[in-house]
Structure 1
Amino acid sequence: MSQQIVPPRSSAENRARVVVGLDGSAGSRAALEQAWLRAARSGAVLDVVSVLPVQHVWSRPAPDVQRQDEALADTQIRARALVDEVVSEGVAGAVEVRVRAVPGSPAGALVEAAEGAAALVVGSRGRGAVRSAVLGSVALHCVTHARCPVEVVHAAPDQRASGVVVGVDGSAESFGALRVAIGEAVARGTTVRVVAAWEVGNMWSDMYALTGPEKNSVRTRLQDAVASAVADAQQEAADVHSRPPLLTIDVAEGPPSDLLVTAAEGAELLVVGSRGHGAIRGLLLGSVALRCVVHAPCPVLVVPPPRRAAPAEEELAPATAQT
């Protein structure tokens, strides 16, 4: 397929969007390439957002509007030049692209830009040996606060990789991630590897052996739950797609994050569900998802839980005793 930028269409506002954050770093360039491919596969508009950090200090509370506008214009020119450079190097697919520069906090601006989007793609700052310390506050904030799936891309992903890996643990969030993984595999024309991990917590005594479930029982319950979820997801995929992907299931004992990171070797995408429900999402991403985002060798797509409807007014009213 030829690579090109499709001229904007008037209907773009009603089409799906893939948002990507661009700041000129190697990680954001890799994110741009992955976001382009994602938009090309789905027919979505690629919304390239470059954020100009604006800081207000006490000594000068009034911003210089003219200088800010000039900086925004320069930022947009640089972002457009990088888009053109990626296109000239042969990224595949015809995509409608919108490039914009906005002022503000990079993390907050990207989360706001991604509201209502099909996906947000961000680069990782993961350089050096201790990647957990350099994931990047922007990527971490986006993963924990965006309401759409967020793909975190490390610099220079393996172009020879194939297959989608998804972690399933029996929770509703992981089953949602399974459905997303199937959609990703259909769009990419590849397979899905479902990884379900379980482990018995470490104890200082033999008490767990006396009070906890037997290992075989835990494994059997997990296998049954995963098999049932996969069967349902396969049926849904068959109803929607003419050629649903091949799914395989691996159930293994061990730390889930370690097994998922290992399974992601050679994969083109790892999909995990987020535990992000509640008021403080940053604390509820889940250690498994966080470790996968930090340590996986391939891009990681974090799928948030579905939005919950606001409770009805009568549900919020305090209960009263009746006589």
Structure 2
Amino acid sequence: MHGFTDGAIVAGIDGSSSAVGAAGWAAAEAHRRGRPLRLVQVYALPQVKAPVAFGTQAQIRAGLAERAEGLLAEAREAVLAEYPGLDVTTAAREWSPVTALTQESQHAELVVLGSRGLGGFTGLLVGSTAVSVVAHAHCPIVVVRGRTPHDPPPVTGPVLVGADGSPDSDAALAFACEEARLRGCGLIAVHTWSDVLADGMLRAHPLQEDPAEIAAAERVKLAEQVVGWQRKYPDLTIELEVTRGRPVRTLLDRGEHAQLLVVGCRGRGGFTGMLLGSVSQALIAHAPCPVAVVRPQRTGGAR
């Protein structure tokens, strides 16, 4: 039995320093939200042609399970040292990491991952497991990052959210407002515009439009998207930032001073059926702070 707990904060553990940092970030998040923390270590039998060189399958499986339980025990002990009253459970699972963590996301309130794991090659900016889980998950996913692969995630600064008027960015705004409230910090809603494109489509007369008029119109759109959330969170300071440029470059620059960056999984420029937008994929690979990727709430069944 895997003992899923609906609404838990789930952290993926693999023994890497990145995963250790993710577990700590997840523990702080569980503490803020008043939710249980579930630490999950996923392992799989190695694909080898001559298993006798390593022992029998039963021996290998037992060794992997023992190692997984040991890693989970260490992570749990570290978390409880920082948050003694936190409800922490663990699960060692033999399966594909992506499949197991995607299944975990069906029950979780949030899944937290490190930016790179033990399986990453030197120079790989973000672990393939994190990218795949973000693309297929049923709940928001946070990829914990710092300014460099060895830096801890920042704990000061505002929450930053990318907004483009799409349903995905509406979901991101909802998540970002709650995160800013929980952290007691401000929220900056960032919207970028282009004098060539509008809502992912080529403008009818791109060379004839006044950039100042475009900027003013785009600011009105952002204000209209945010106004409902400002009413819901009257004590939250929400700053609007509208700028001409590329979304990825703008969010990476602003992320240098943020403690969390929130985006939808796809924006206005996404293609139907695309699992992960280019903006969110670039940010989880390069952002200088943790990145939350949020998709609209599904209806008609379990998340």
Structure 1: which 5+ residue stretches go unaligned? 1-11, 239-243, 311-323
**2:57 equivalent in structure 1:** 64
Structure 2 residue 78 is matched with structure 1 residue 80: no
Distance 1:189 1:94, change over 3 A: farther
Which of 272, 283, 299 matches 1:292?
283
Could you say what secondary structure the match of 2:42 adopts?
strand
Structure 2 residue 225 is matched with structure 1 residue 229: yes
Which of 140, 147, 167 matches 2:162?
167
Q: Distance in 2 between matches of 1:145 and 1:185?
A: 26
**2:104 equivalent in structure 1:** 113
For residues 65-112 of structure 1, what are the alpha-carbon distances to aligned partners after superposition, in whole Å with 9 as ceiling and x for unaligned? 454134213311222113313544xx3563110111101111221111
Using the TM superposition, give the Cα deviation of residue 25 of structure 1 relative to its aligned residue in structure 2, in angstroms.
Answer: 0.7
| Aligned partners of 1:126 and 1:134 also within 8 Å | no
Distance 1:195 1:71, change over 3 A: same
| Aligned partners of 2:105 and 2:111 also within 8 Å | yes
Structure 2: which 5+ residue stretches go unaligned? 198-202
- Count the aligned residue pairs: 282
For residues 159-183 of structure 1, what are the alpha-carbon distances to aligned partners after superposition, in whole Å with 9 as ceiling and x for unaligned? 4522100010111211211111000
Which of 183, 186, 192 matches 2:178?
183
Distance 1:35 1:137, change over 3 A: same
Distance 1:48 1:192, change over 3 A: same
Q: Distance in 2 between matches of 1:124 and 1:107?
A: 14
Using the TM superposition, give the Cα deviation of residue 156 of structure 1 relative to its aligned residue in structure 2, in angstroms.
Answer: 3.3
Distance 1:86 1:116, change over 3 A: closer
Which letter does structure 1 place at the counterpart of 2:220?
A: D
| Aligned partners of 1:40 and 1:93 also within 8 Å | no
Using the TM superposition, give the Cα deviation of residue 22 of structure 1 relative to its aligned residue in structure 2, in angstroms.
Answer: 0.5
Q: Distance in 1 between matches of 2:141 and 2:166?
A: 19
Q: Distance in 1 between matches of 2:67 and 2:60?
A: 11
| Aligned partners of 2:12 and 2:113 also within 8 Å | yes
**1:98 equivalent in structure 2:** 89
In terms of mean alpha carbon deviation, does 69-78 or 175-184 score higher? 69-78
Which letter does structure 1 place at the counterpart of 2:105?
A: A
Distance 1:236 1:293, change over 3 A: same
Identity %: 31
Q: Distance in 2 between matches of 1:58 and 1:279?
A: 41
Could you say what secondary structure the match of 1:250 adopts?
strand
Which letter does structure 1 place at the counterpart of 2:41?
A: S
Using the TM superposition, give the Cα deviation of residue 57 of structure 1 relative to its aligned residue in structure 2, in angstroms.
Answer: 5.7
Which of 145, 152, 156 matches 1:157?
152
Q: Distance in 1 between matches of 2:80 and 2:185?
A: 25
In terms of mean alpha carbon deviation, does 168-177 or 63-72 score higher? 63-72
Could you say what secondary structure the match of 2:91 adopts?
strand
Structure 2 residue 43 is matched with structure 1 residue 48: no
Which letter does structure 1 place at the counterpart of 2:286?
A: H
Which letter does structure 1 place at the counterpart of 2:126?
A: L
Which letter does structure 2 place at the counterpart of 1:221?
A: A
**1:122 equivalent in structure 2:** 113
For residues 8-63 of structure 1, what are the alpha-carbon distances to aligned partners after superposition, in whole Å with 9 as ceiling and x for unaligned? xxxx9665201100011111011001100010011111110001122456777xx8
**2:250 equivalent in structure 1:** 259
Q: Distance in 2 between matches of 1:92 and 1:186?
A: 20
Which of 191, 197, 200 matches 1:196?
191
Distance 1:223 1:98, change over 3 A: same
**1:19 equivalent in structure 2:** 10
Which letter does structure 2 place at the counterpart of 1:275?
A: R
Could you say what secondary structure the match of 2:138 adopts?
coil
| Aligned partners of 2:19 and 2:117 also within 8 Å | no
Q: Distance in 1 between matches of 2:161 and 2:297?
A: 17
Which of 25, 42, 53 matches 1:34?
25
Q: Distance in 2 between matches of 1:275 and 1:57?
A: 38
Q: TM-score, structure 1 length as denominator?
A: 0.78
Structure 2 residue 140 is matched with structure 1 residue 134: no
Q: Distance in 1 between matches of 2:12 and 2:5?
A: 21
Which letter does structure 1 place at the counterpart of 2:291?
A: V
| Aligned partners of 2:265 and 2:276 also within 8 Å | yes
Using the TM superposition, give the Cα deviation of residue 226 of structure 1 relative to its aligned residue in structure 2, in angstroms.
Answer: 0.9
Which letter does structure 1 place at the counterpart of 2:191?
A: A
Which of 220, 226, 232 matches 2:216?
220
**2:200 equivalent in structure 1:** none
